């Protein structure tokens, strides 16, 4: 296999050549997201308004070096059934309900076995 056949055109190949054959001076700008993913984009060398942030492929906001990234919203953890109940009732109330339900169950069992 010759070197020639090993070469191929990359799917990500980008031509910066203009129709008239001139080359545009470019600068590559790299953005980094909180997950440390790097996104490098070409901008014209004389571009004045290069965005300081860019959306990473993972969905996070990526920024130029030194740019403070927006804080990620806190991950909402799923509350247990007990935690939800505890928000509405005190331990004493729960103990009362527990005893009441035990009595109901005991009563139900005594009817059933009678």
Q: Does 55 bind Zn ion (CB under 5 A)?
A: no
Beta strands, E only, the chain: 26-33, 38-44, 53-55, 61-63
89 and 97 Cβ atoms separated by less than 8 Å: yes
Q: CB of 89: closest distance to Zn ion in angstroms?
A: 43
Structure tokens at 64: 């130029």
Q: CB of 62: closest distance to Zn ion in angstroms?
A: 6
**Nearer CB in complex with Zn ion: 43/61:** 61
Q: CB of 57: closest distance to Zn ion in angstroms?
A: 6
Q: Does 31 bind Zn ion (CB under 5 A)?
A: no
Q: Does 35 bind Zn ion (CB under 5 A)?
A: yes
Q: 58: how many CB neighbours lie within 10 A of its CB? A: 11
Question: Judged by CB under 5 A, which of 26, 43, 60, 94 binds Zn ion?
Answer: 60
Q: CB of 35: closest distance to Zn ion in angstroms?
A: 4
Going by C-beta distance under 8 Å and a sequence separation of 6 or more, which residues neighbour residue 30? 38, 39, 40, 41, 64, 65
Q: Does 38 bind Zn ion (CB under 5 A)?
A: no
């Amino acid at each position: 296999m010759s070197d020639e056949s090993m070469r191929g055109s990359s799917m990500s190949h980008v031509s910066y050549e203009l129709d008239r054959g001139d080359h545009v001076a470019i600068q590559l700008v790299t953005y980094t997201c909180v997950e440390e993913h790097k996104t490098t984009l070409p901008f014209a060398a004389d571009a004045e308004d290069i965005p300081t942030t860019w959306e990473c492929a993972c969905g996070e906001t990526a920024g130029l070096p030194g740019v403070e990234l927006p804080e990620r919203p806190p991950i909402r953890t799923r509350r247990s059934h007990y935690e939800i109940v505890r928000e509405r009732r005190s331990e004493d109330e729960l103990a009362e309900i527990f005893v009441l339900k035990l009595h109901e169950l005991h009563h139900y069992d005594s009817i059933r076995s009678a």
